[in-house]
Amino acid sequence: MRELAREISATLDATVADPALAARTLTDAALIEQIDTRVMELPAEVRHAMRLPATATGAAIVSRLPLADNEFGPTPSSPQEAAQWSGDPARRAHSLEFDIVMLLLARSAGEPFGWEGHQDGRLVNNILPVAGHEHEQSGVSSRAQLSPHTEDAFHPRRAHLLMLGCIRNPDLVGTTVSSARYVELSAVQRELLSTPALPILPDVSYGEEYDRHSAVLIPTLWTATGPDEQTMRFDPAYTPLKNADPEFRAAYERLAEELERVRVTAVLAPGEVLLVDNDVAVHGRVPFTARYDGTDRWLKLVNVWLPQRSRRVEEADESGYGERIVAPFRSVSASMVERRTDDRLMAPNDRGILEQP
């Protein structure tokens, strides 16, 4: 993986007019073509390892890419600085190489994508603590317990598969994972949570201009094909629970308690990649004290769309609050064709979820 990424990086330097810009955004056409072409050189074992976790847990750790802590330099002070370093010839060699590794792994699983309004549309996001944001419910916080949540739960085009690759974690900060398929709820509670009752709003990292779009009521839980196919869309920090009736709030709070009860904690080591099924499991992070001295926890995150997996047909009516995706790896298959009318994002129209065996 590392050798292939190094070759692609060298090719980028030789063929792209502005390699620094290509490295910062990771969306340059030459880089995308290299990833698309050379991902087929990866062994079948890599593609098998990067598939959706096929257990009720909805998560798995893939071990491990060889890397040393001192090859990446200090943890940047912000995601923006991390992106700039990838484009800096004096700093970028190994940082860009690891970004390319993450793209190769993601492409072997499906279609990596980014968000126009988040980290400047970058395909590989940097997750690290930022001074002044300690208590936010976002990926740049530290002192706050990051509540368990579906990644980008507000949007119908959210990832199917979430990839978190660890560069540095000296304080053994845990990433929490809770599966919808382990929670115990009454039939009445499940029925309440399966009824569209509240919207989920964009998190703070997307800004505050979402109020010009109509909010859509969505269900918290739904069953794809049977009792063992429970799926979830959950983000309590950005769900206006005060607007719900007491019965719904009680059911929602019970779900939150159950997700806490079944929670497992993954303490990632450098080179390990956590895979999360974003329809089955929610993830969060335990609190920690950031030092801001270049030694703090540093992860890479990639959102992956899986063309073979579909969601509720009703999601086709959601605007996603106007947030648009950056998807240079779009498939030509009919199942992945998106139709856009104004700000409406049309999702695939098949019901249910296909679990990879």
Q: What are the tens digits of pLDDT across the range 237-264?
A: 999 999 999 999 999 999 999 999 999 9
Instruction: Count CB neighbours of 60 within 10 A.
Output: 19
Ramachandran assignment for 346, one of left (phi > 0), alpha (psi -120 to 50 degrees), beta (any other): beta
Percentage of the chain modeled with pLDDT above 70: 88
Q: Please report the pLDDT score of residue 23 as a whole number.
A: 79
pLDDT tens string 258-281: 999 999 999 999 999 999 999 999
- Given a cut of 80, is residue 207 above it in pLDDT? no
Q: Please report the pLDDT score of residue 87 as a whole number.
A: 74
Q: Structural domain boundaries of the chain? A: 2-345
pLDDT tens string 4-24: 999 998 888 888 878 777 778
Cα separation, 269 vs 22, whole angstroms: 28
Instruction: Count CB neighbours of 320 within 10 A.
Output: 23
**Phi, psi of 152, rounded to the nearest 5 degrees:** 50, 45
Q: Please report the pLDDT score of residue 342 as a whole number.
A: 32
Q: What is the mean pLDDT of residues 164-171?
A: 96
Contact 162, 281 (CB under 8 A): no
Angle ∠(352,222,224) on CA atoms, nearest 5: 25
- Does this model's pTM top 0.85? yes
Contact 155, 320 (CB under 8 A): yes
pLDDT tens string 32-83: 999 999 999 999 999 999 999 988 999 999 998 988 878 888 999 999 999 8
Contact 40, 109 (CB under 8 A): no
- Residue 92 pLDDT class (50, 70, 90 cuts): low
Cα separation, 131 vs 77, whole angstroms: 8
Cα separation, 222 vs 338, whole angstroms: 23
Q: Please report the pLDDT score of residue 341 as a whole number.
A: 28
Percentage of the chain modeled with pLDDT above 90: 68
Cα separation, 146 vs 283, whole angstroms: 9
Q: What is the DSSP string of 219-240?
A: -SEEESSSTT-EEE---GGGS-
Q: Please report the pLDDT score of residue 91 as a whole number.
A: 66
pLDDT tens string 313-347: 999 889 899 899 999 997 643 333 333 323 323 33
Q: What is the mean pLDDT of residues 81-97?
A: 77
Q: Which residues pair with 178 in a beta bridge?
A: 282
Q: Please report the pLDDT score of residue 257 as a whole number.
A: 98
Q: Could you say which architecture CATH assigns to the domain 2-345?
A: 4-Layer Sandwich (3.60)
Q: Please report the pLDDT score of residue 293 as a whole number.
A: 96
Q: What is the DSSP string of 119-173?
A: GGG-SSEEE---TT-TTSSSTT--SS-EEEE-TTTT-TT--SEEEEEEEE-TT-P
pLDDT tens string 137-157: 889 999 999 999 999 999 999
What's the distance, CA 249 to chain centroid?
A: 27
Residues in CB range of 10: below 8 A, 6 or more apart: none
What do you get for the CA distance between the two ends of the chain, in Å? 25
Cα separation, 334 vs 227, whole angstroms: 29
